[in-house]
Amino acid sequence: MCSIMFNFESVTVAEASSSKGECEHPGSFGNMCFVCGQKLVETGVSFRYIHKEMRLNQDEISRLRDSDMTLLQRQRKLYLVLDLDHTLLNSTLLKDLKPEEEYLKSHTHSLLDVSGGSLFMPEHMHMMTKLRPFVHSFLKEASEMFVMYIYTMGDRQYARQMAKLLDPKGEYFGDRIISRDDGTVRHQKSLDVVLGQESAVLILDDTENAWPNHKDNLIVIERYHFFASSCRQFDHKYKSLSELKSDESEPDGALATVLKVLKQVHALFFKDVDEDISNKDVRLMLKQVRKEILKGCKVVFSRVFPTKAKPEDHPLWKMAEELGATCATEVDASVTHVVAMEMGTEKARWGLREKKFVVHRGWIDAANYLWKKQPEENFSLEQLKKQQGTEEE
């Protein structure tokens, strides 16, 4: 019997036959079984990013994922799926540059040697791309703990061009570059085209709604708005980093923060060296790390939720609990924080009298995005009032 073989990393799809020697048709190239050569009706999941005509059936996908878990245990690695736009970089069309951003054209790096650069202008694509600060260090360190994928809602040409900027030697991603052309559901991302067990996959993305079926695997990162067009896209009124001639901090920026989270989750997963990892679940480790962020905080909310709504059903209440805080509807001596949107409420005034922290909801949102408890003084109601006044001008 003829057998067509291919390699994906160190995983090999081998001949899949039953004990009677009948081919189980684990997958196909085009409409032909890659084991026995029989013509097949097109079925299974498409893995176009590996080979444009390749499809695998669910049993073969499961077999590959199971066999790869053994390899992962030896290498002490997990999977990490990375979004591109607003996560690792920010791109804009040249025609969308504002006059205040024209100076950037004289600061771009050569595409012939991208290793030391962060600002590029692939003119054949009529665009400019800015890599997020710390991205090179992030990818280098993450690659020691994870098998990494790119997964973008951009098209295949864009995905591969961005991969060349991030990984010019092809040492981090290989062919694991998934674009919108490779997904199985329009306008959504899914792990069905990732050859890794869901229990061993982490996702880094700025858009939670892109992953409706995998939110427990997801680390949501603060969006990177370098270009003015990016701010306009999300209807932000403030100036972009490029207009301010500024950028995120390398040591204290979003990627540096996320790298610390990844290290914590990885350490928890492989805590017991000899333990079988097939029974472990990275999603539980991620929840465990999140629970430490606001641990020890007891939060009471004041006029933050609609009057007739159940407070415990509100996303902000649930977010605070996921971050480790205890939430309450009434004040008592054990309360540490009052979350309000104006100073005139009874609970906010009580908080000031009792010398509790009185903050606006942004304090919880920031802890959620930055994976770290934030200084309360940066989220006072006075700060909120100033911010609202600036936006109205």
Residues 164 and 247 occupy one common structural domain: yes
| 13: in domain | no
Q: How far apart are CA 217 and CA 286, in angstroms?
A: 8
| 147: in domain | yes
10-residue mean pLDDT profile of the chain (393 residues): values are 37 44 74 77 72 74 76 88 98 96 94 88 91 97 97 93 94 92 83 89 96 95 96 93 96 94 95 77 96 97 89 95 96 96 92 95 94 94 65 45
pLDDT, position 98: 96
Give the number of other Cβ atoms within 10 Å of residue 70's Cβ: 12
Please say whether the beta carbons of 309 and 264 come within 8 A.
Answer: no
Residues 47 and 127 occupy one common structural domain: no
The parent domain of residue 282 ranges over: 78-286
| CATH code for the domain of 350 | 3.40.50.10190
pLDDT, position 243: 96
Residues 41 and 153 occupy one common structural domain: no
Please say whether the beta carbons of 295 and 332 come within 8 A.
Answer: no
- Among 286, 318, 344, which residue terminates a domain? 286
Residues 208 and 320 occupy one common structural domain: no
Residue 313 token pair? 């059903």
pLDDT, position 308: 83
pLDDT, position 9: 41
DSSP category for residue 85: B
pLDDT, position 38: 78
| CATH code for the domain of 118 | 3.40.50.1000
- Among 286, 307, 339, which residue terminates a domain? 286
Burial label for 67, CB within 10 Å (0-12, 13-18, 19+), is: middle
Residues 53 and 92 occupy one common structural domain: no
Give the number of other Cβ atoms within 10 Å of residue 205's Cβ: 25
Residues 225 and 355 occupy one common structural domain: no
